Homo-oligomer: A and B are copies of this chain.
Amino acid sequence: MEVTNKYIVIKHHIEDSPKESHFEVKTEAIGLSLKPGSDEVIIKNLYISIDPYLINRMKSYSASHNAISFATPLTPGQAIDALVIGRVVTSGNAKFEKDDLVMGVFTWAEYSVVKEQSIIKKLESFEFPLTYHLGILGFSGLSAYGGFFEICKPRKGETVFVSAASGSVGNIVGQYAKLLGCYVVGCAGSQKKVTLLKEELGFDDAFNYKEETDLNSTLKRYFPDGIDIYFDNVGGEMLEAAVANMKAFGRVSVCGVISEYTDIGKRASPNMMDVVYKRITIRGFLAADYMNVFGDFSAKTLDYLRNGQLRVIEDRSLGVESIPSAFVGLFNGDNVGKKVVVLADE
């Protein structure tokens, strides 16, 4: 049997803000049976994780390209690889059989034909939506967990500031910090998001950064005695203002710098005099470095979920054609929580 497979490509490298017109939906005919002897696995994709870092792979040059294997540049015209949950249609590999649910690095496509090494793990349907494996129980959760607990070594009562706080990683960081007993303030790009943070997610306070003219004074207002921990998702001026407002021995965990991804000339220049005199630590990390604590992370997070102590915020779009707008939307703040594109019924 043959099907038409729609997949998404970039038409050319993207050097600044992504637009839907930079993308193209392509189609190909693929057979759903494998040649004898093939060890491939054909997967029908169900849920696609939409992640900001891909913009860096879409550039012709980025400092990130040489840093780590999964940050290599994408080739215009070719299928884009991303984190996906799908169901096996046909398998030439003895470890997988038809109807298995799998998560792995597949493609922005309806179907992906992959080798074993692209499959991260088999999944089973469980008490929560499968998409949690892409967000709260997947890399967003692990980023929040590793970047907050392992990098920041937070203590009860400390003051915590989170940017992109209504986003997938940010909202989890804020909730973990509240569960630990920290004082938590988040910023986000709309009044609606601010309300969500304060009224649904338990943040002590929150503000819309787009309405502030002097972030330095804004942070002084929210943290009159200074910030112990800044969980940075955005970089740029927000990082500068946070460093200026850190307490002595403050820690900045740099998860991402989304405001710098789409503006190659934009660079944070935190005051290094603050860094020295206040003995601040600024540290970058990748979730992948924390696979060693995945067991702990996942056990604790599942417990919190079962006890109703963590709220899960997902933002879904439907159909392969919606991938470009879902992706572009990340850079406009359209999403609230984990952005996922749903391609088919389970």
Give me the interface of A with B, judged by CB distance under 8 Å. 56, 62-64, 67-68, 71, 235, 239, 244, 248, 254-257, 260-261, 267-286, 289
Contacts and interface: CB of A to CB of B under 8 A. Distances in A.
A342 B255 CA distance: 50
Contact of A254 (B261, B268, B272, B283): B272
B284 A275 contact: yes
B67 A277 contact: yes
B235 A277 contact: no
B68 A277 contact: yes
A304 to B, nearest CB: 26
Residue of A248, A273, A274, A280 most packed against chain B (CB within 10 A): A273
Contact of A274 (B63, B277, B281): B63
B286 A283 contact: no
Contacts of A256: 276
A293 to B, nearest CB: 15
Contacts of A239: 272
A152 to B, nearest CB: 12
Contacts of A277: 63-64, 67-68, 71, 284, 286
A56 B272 CA distance: 13
A280 to B, nearest CB: 5
Nearest to A271: B63
B283 A64 contact: no
30 contacts: A62-B273, A63-B244, A63-B271, A64-B273, A64-B277, A67-B274, A67-B278, A71-B277, A235-B272, A254-B275, A254-B276, A256-B276, A257-B273, A260-B273, A267-B269, A267-B270, A268-B269, A268-B272, A269-B269, A275-B283, A276-B284, A277-B284, A277-B286, A279-B284, A279-B285, A280-B283, A281-B281, A281-B282, A282-B283, A283-B283
Nearest to A256: B276
A235 B277 CA distance: 14
A268 B260 CA distance: 16
A280 B274 CA distance: 18
- Residue of A248, A257, A277, A289 with highest tally of chain B CB at under 10 A: A277
Contacts of A278: 67, 284
A234 to B, nearest CB: 10
A150 to B, nearest CB: 11
A228 B261 CA distance: 25
Given A282-B282, A284-B280, A272 B257 contact: yes
Nearest to A247: B67
Nearest to A68: B277
Nearest to A286: B279
Nearest to A62: B273
Nearest to A280: B284
A54 to B, nearest CB: 13
Nearest to A273: B63
Closest 9 CB pairs of A and B: A67-B277, A269-B269, A267-B269, A275-B284, A276-B284, A64-B277, A257-B272, A282-B282, A281-B283
Contacts of A289: 279
A276 B257 contact: yes
